[in-house]
Amino acid sequence: MINSSKSANLGDAFSKYFEIVPAMYDAQKEAAFRIRHSVYCEDLGWEPARSNGMETDAYDVQSLHCLVRSRSSGEHIGCVRLVRADADDPQVPLPFEQTCADTIDRSIIELDVMSRDRIAEVSRLAIVGQYRRRRGEERTPGTLQDSDFGGGGRSRFPWPLVGLYMGVFAMAEHHGLDTLFLLSEPRLLRHLNKIGITNRQIGGAIEHRGLRAPAVMDVREVIDNLDPLLRSVYQVACEALDGCQNHA
């Protein structure tokens, strides 16, 4: 549970320092690709450096992208994407389906019978280095810790990470997605459950840039059961998405 003494309205507190930006235009998507290059290529060495300073792959064209921007600096400081099924060939596996092909438990989830146009994978979440300098975060693109929600003041609250996840669910709802998948550290999956972002592990952990496990999240279940404080940040994300659509 989130410590309610943090703020009567996390959405207002979040909006004082940060902004959720659905990446609808090329310049915004390029900002996401540059963040990914900074984190995945330069900081972590998980992907090869690119001469253009942008980390991209074949899944980007079928993805929805989201950013978090610092109001004080005006700089984009975090990004995430939702990889949707290929519209031309929906049966092409999502990234996690390929990586976890041998470990997904088919008795828990029947991927073959799901409506492919209503699923997506949370992917390429990244937060720039200066916003993840806490102990234990040096070798991750962005994570949660046990101390994040139990006290210690607002300076410890993982604002960018929470903003990105709320952006994910706002985009999912807006685009009619029912089910989201995630390949993540088992510890992060447990921490997401603690704050009400309910997920269920659907297979054994594998070695993929460290230990990673596949999980599933029901979009409607998560949104309907959000902690009231997180819901206020979710509302900020929804308003940002609506604002972008109205000006598109």
Give yes or no for a contact between 214 and 181, defined as CB atoms under 8 angstroms apart: yes
Distance CA 56, CA 32 (A): 9
Q: Compute the 3-state secondary structure of the chain and give helix, strand, coil in percent, each to the nearest 5.
A: 45, 20, 35
The sign of the torsion formed by the CA atoms of 35, 86, 208, 161 equals positive
pLDDT at 117: 96
Total domains in the chain come to 1
Q: The domain spanning residue 159 has which CATH number?
A: 3.40.630.30
Domain hosting 145: range is: 7-247
Mind listing the pLDDT tens digit for each residue in 79-93?
999 999 999 999 999
pTM listed for this prediction = 0.88
Q: Mean pLDDT of all residues in the chain?
A: 87
In a domain, 2, yes or no: no
pLDDT at 5: 44
Burial of 135 from C-beta contacts in 10 A (0-12 / 13-18 / 19+): exposed
Out of 2-6, 83-87, 160-164, least confident range: 2-6
Mind listing the pLDDT tens digit for each residue in 39-91?
999 999 999 999 999 999 999 999 999 999 999 999 999 999 999 999 999 99
Give yes or no for a contact between 218 and 199, defined as CB atoms under 8 angstroms apart: no
Average pLDDT value for residue range 209-219: 94
In a domain, 210, yes or no: yes
What is the pLDDT confidence band of residue 4, given thresholds at 50, 70 and 90? very low
Higher model confidence: residue 143 or residue 218?
A: 218
In a domain, 1, yes or no: no
137 pLDDT higher than 80: no
